[in-house]
Amino acid sequence: MKIVFVGPTVPDAATLVGDALAVRPPATQGDILRAVYDGATVIGLIDGNFEYVAPVWHKEILFALSLGVTVLGAASMGALRAAECAAFGMVGIGEIFRQYMADETADDSDVALLHAPEELGYTALTVPLVNLRATLRHLTEQNRLTATDAAEIADVAADLFYKERTWNAILGHAGLSAHIDAAMLRAEYVDQKRIDALELFEALRRMPAERHAPPQDWTFNTTSLWATMLSQLPLTDEKSDA
């Protein structure tokens, strides 16, 4: 069974993947572990919740890998965790993962955004910094935005808390909107997170739905903290898949 955790990055994921993948909502702590116990052979991590809930724990990713489950990450929380767990065999996909690995992107909040709930289609309410930077690169490469203006916009956006990173806040800061074509920025918006997520979908489709041999170069350590988590975490989840 192939499972992918995704939400606001690709709100229409269920329609796009059809029966090829089991789509579950953004992951929180314990969801990767539940997927393993549910029989997952391949897991794709794109979106994950945080702040008000515990995020996906690195240890549960390592547990999945130790059992021969292929775990891929891209676009959002998945790209971040893939960069952090690459040494243990987690597979990163896409440009944002590459940026984390190259230290071109470092902050967790660079992929974060404020969005509406699932019931309202995960509508984006703010602009993820990784997407803004991709948009600025595209416009400078097309000679439609100067490098100086692009750098100024990027700096302003980076200084904003991710929940406040709207187009109006970015362009209204320090009078940027007076000499920047805001309509052009919106029209030429590059959704790098979605691009990377779609690449992960394709990678998942191509992979065989089977577990492989456990890693030979490292051993999963069952720590006391891990044992405590197992004892406290219900492995029969009442939530339905999204």
Q: What is the 3-state secondary structure (H, E, C) of the chain?
A: CEEEECCCCCCCHHHHHCCCCEEECCECCCHHHHHHHCCCCEEEECCECCCCCCCCCHHHHHHHHHCCCEEEEECCHHHHHHHHHHHHCCEEEHHHHHHHHCCCCCCHHHHCCCECCHHHCCCECCCCHHHHHHHHHHHHHCCCCCHHHHHHHHHHHHHCCHHHCCHHHHHHHHHHHHCCCHHHHHHCCCCHHHHHHHHHHHHHHHCCCCCCCCCCCCCCCCCHHHHHHHHHCCCCCCCCCC
pLDDT at 238: 40
Domain spanning 2-111+193-221: CATH 3.40.50: yes
**165-221: per-residue pLDDT in tens?**
999 899 887 666 666 778 888 899 999 999 999 999 999 999 999 999 989 899 999
Q: Is the pLDDT of residue 133 over 80?
A: yes
CA dist 85 and 65 (Å) reads 10
Q: Is the pLDDT of residue 240 over 50?
A: no
Q: Is the pLDDT of residue 242 over 60?
A: no
Give the burial class of 141: count Cβ atoms within 10 A of its Cβ; 0-12 exposed, 13-18 middle, 19 or more buried. Answer: exposed
Q: Is the pLDDT of residue 78 over 80?
A: yes
- β partners of residue 48: 27
Q: Regarding predicted confidence, which is higher, 240 or 79?
A: 79
Share of the chain above pLDDT 70, in %: 94
Q: What does the domain layout of the chain look like in residue ranges?
A: 2-111+193-221, 118-191
pLDDT classification of 52: cutoffs 50, 70, 90: confident
pLDDT at 241: 32
Q: Taking residues 224-234, report their average pLDDT.
A: 83
pLDDT at 174: 60
pLDDT at 237: 45
Average model confidence (pLDDT) for the chain?
91
pLDDT at 235: 61
